Structure 1
């Protein structure tokens, strides 16, 4: 089986990390013979994103071919078309709406046998909740592929057209992709973990409006706590200028899990998330997630047992986080003990087998894998 992944991205983030890790697992387990990738060439923003350029990092993974395009959509379509003709995949797997539209146009331009098309929707975009021009385009776009994978119940519930496409939509929760072995977490000394914390709160993610890093910075500055921001993006410069004397801006870090291991709480005040992979990464590193109530988060966070959900209001957030911080030494162990068992629901092994089953079904090979 030959798989071609298509993304509209130039930088390593959650979805891109998922593609690369799953590709490695599929090749290692001989589910896929070869994997290729269509991506965007690097677009520098103030020189800060070069360190996590996808095209420079992808060589560390089992991807045999990379097809690069600029952000010109016509060039992007032609690049996908060339990749299909050159690589001859059995399955094309696109990972966002632009990638899916580009793939559909490229497939339309091809003649003869065409590969099967699988789509993953990674985000719970607010526009998808009601009928409008964008959501109608999304509905039409998702009507053509063979299978549409959504990464959480929350993403599925957001779609006003979910019943119309229910036969082709499959919910497959994202897996943990980090460096910790989940089976080893039970043997960790929680007392030592609690005593080793350096930061009170950490934000991990792209510094973009939908993730509201400005709320993280404002709440942390009011608390006077030891706080760090891990990530880059369009908001970094203005946030660093305003809060740089009270919050540490660490930029993109490859050792982000080590930072979470040294932090008491992950605070993620996102407007919406498709899944929130960083929440799973935090739990695997005994960092308690605190999130705002976006749709579907309750499937990952059980209030007071695997994390906390705080309401949308700065003063209220500040008060709740202050209380959590004050009570950390007495309440942390009870939460941290729940993480190893909860994380069993997000294993990479199970995820790979589920995706492999989808691939095999669409290409007409239903052989079971172990």
Structure 2
């Protein structure tokens, strides 16, 4: 394509929604002919190690100079960003999370010059957790205000950013997305028997098992559902709350009804096993796992937290209840699992919404338009193959 860009992307390379979105965005941009340079301390887990056209990885090496009490990763990252920007003549640094990545990009821009533009995407934790710390507020505010473009993954996150940090600048809404070539309903008939009997339904929870995910509520919901509907519960992921959850399951005598699958890479295959996804989080700026489930035709029963209501349409693509209302969430899950016609209608609505409103091509195009805007360039027409 003409007018292709050179884009540097920095994200947290380990497991997490922001890293997934950043990596998948980079891959899609590379497919469109843009040159994409990932700058991080390790290869993003969704990127893989095989050669991909137009994609490059630059490792951030941290100095262990004895004067430093702690390894200065932030300074090393800023320096690496500047080096790559100069060497590769980058147009844009697209950073995911304000702290530390947007701050590092700000420093890199000071070293390189104003021709390098910075786009910052807010994913949630930098606002919902870090910005609550008074000692970090000014730093996060600086990072956001000094960025050439700022995006956020939900209207709720934009609202909270403005309220918490008194930010008045423009913030673009760019929802998360899924690659529909990867996320679609899979045939799990050969696998399902490993976890549930033919007459049993499968409920699933996928997370990093932090307190904010309220995983204990998942167990309470399942216990109530299992009294009415023969079912099994699958946990996917790992995290600090996991030992506590295992104890609770044993106390309730549900150990024969629950499977722990640990971390899984083939999420679309795993989610397709489920009849319902449970997401009772206390905070969720978007809820990427609910979108991944939606794209596989699996409805979500969850909380009215953060950006979840912008993704899950109550009564159409799932059901939502107030945070902590496990009784109501269990009733919604039982309703979905007991009514085949309702389950089919909701599943079809999930597939349609994921393909139309959260299409990978649509969101990629939105990011491109932001890049060209901050560069002061005209947006080129889309290639026919991309339409």
**Is the shorter-chain TM-score for this pair beyond 0.5, marking a shared fold?**
yes
Task: Find out whether 1:329 has 2:340 as its counterpart.
Answer: yes
Which position in structure 2 is the counterpart of 1:64?
A: 56
Q: 1:366 aligns with which of 370, 373, 378?
A: 378
Task: Find out whether 1:275 has 2:286 as its counterpart.
Answer: yes
Which position in structure 2 is the counterpart of 1:228?
A: 234
The 5 A counterparts of 1:217-296 are: 217-224=219-226, 225-243=231-249, 245=255, 246-296=257-307
1:68, 1:237 → 2: CA distance? 34
Query: Which stretch shifts more, 16-25 or 218-227?
Result: 218-227
Q: Gapped runs of 5+ residues in structure 1?
A: 42-52
Residue 166 of structure 1: how far off its partner (Å): 4.6
Residue 147 of structure 1: how far off its partner (Å): 0.5
Query: Residue 275 of structure 2: SS of its match in structure 1?
Result: strand
Q: 2:179 aligns with which of 177, 180, 195?
A: 177
Structure with the bigger RCO (C-alpha within 8 Å, sep 6+) is 1
Does structure 2 conserve the Cα–Cα contact (< 8 Å) formed by 1:305 and 1:335?
A: yes
1:304, 1:119 → 2: CA distance? 34
2:165, 2:72 → 1: CA distance? 33
Which position in structure 2 is the counterpart of 1:47?
A: none
Q: 1:200 aligns with which of 191, 199, 202?
A: 202
Query: Which stretch shifts more, 360-369 or 276-285?
Result: 360-369
Residue 181 of structure 1: how far off its partner (Å): 6.8
1:221, 1:67 → 2: CA distance? 46
Q: Gapped runs of 5+ residues in structure 2?
A: 64-69, 383-387
Task: Find out whether 1:349 has 2:361 as its counterpart.
Answer: yes
1:86, 1:315 → 2: CA distance? 50
Query: How many equivalent pairs are there?
Result: 346
Supply the RMSD in Å over aligned alpha carbons: 3.2
Residue 247 of structure 1: how far off its partner (Å): 2.1
Residue 117 of structure 1: how far off its partner (Å): 0.5
Which position in structure 1 is the counterpart of 2:14?
A: 11
The normalised TM-score by structure 1 is 0.81
Residue 104 of structure 1: how far off its partner (Å): 2.2
Query: Residue 151 of structure 2: SS of its match in structure 1?
Result: strand
Which position in structure 2 is the counterpart of 1:2?
A: 6
1:363, 1:171 → 2: CA distance? 19
Query: Residue 295 of structure 1: SS of its match in structure 2?
Result: coil
Query: Relative to 1, partners in 2 of residues 1:55 and 1:327: Cα closer, same or farther, differing over 3 Å?
Result: closer
Deviations 1:13-42 (A, max 9, x none): 322122222212212211x1x21222235x
1:148, 1:164 → 2: CA distance? 15
The normalised TM-score by structure 2 is 0.78
Does structure 2 conserve the Cα–Cα contact (< 8 Å) formed by 1:310 and 1:320?
A: no
Does structure 2 conserve the Cα–Cα contact (< 8 Å) formed by 1:200 and 1:264?
A: yes
Does structure 2 conserve the Cα–Cα contact (< 8 Å) formed by 1:127 and 1:134?
A: no
Which position in structure 2 is the counterpart of 1:44?
A: none
The 5 A counterparts of 1:156-175 are: 156-161=158-163, 165-175=167-177
Residue 289 of structure 1: how far off its partner (Å): 0.6
Does structure 1 conserve the Cα–Cα contact (< 8 Å) formed by 2:14 and 2:44?
A: yes
1:314, 1:291 → 2: CA distance? 10
1:196, 1:283 → 2: CA distance? 23
Query: Relative to 1, partners in 2 of residues 1:134 and 1:111: Cα closer, same or farther, differing over 3 Å?
Result: closer
Query: Relative to 1, partners in 2 of residues 1:318 and 1:363: Cα closer, same or farther, differing over 3 Å?
Result: closer
Does structure 2 conserve the Cα–Cα contact (< 8 Å) formed by 1:154 and 1:274?
A: yes
Which position in structure 1 is the counterpart of 2:80?
A: 82
Task: Find out whether 1:24 has 2:27 as its counterpart.
Answer: yes
2:58, 2:339 → 1: CA distance? 46
Query: Residue 227 of structure 1: SS of its match in structure 2?
Result: strand
**Structure 1 runs of 4+ off > 6 angstroms?**
128-131, 195-198
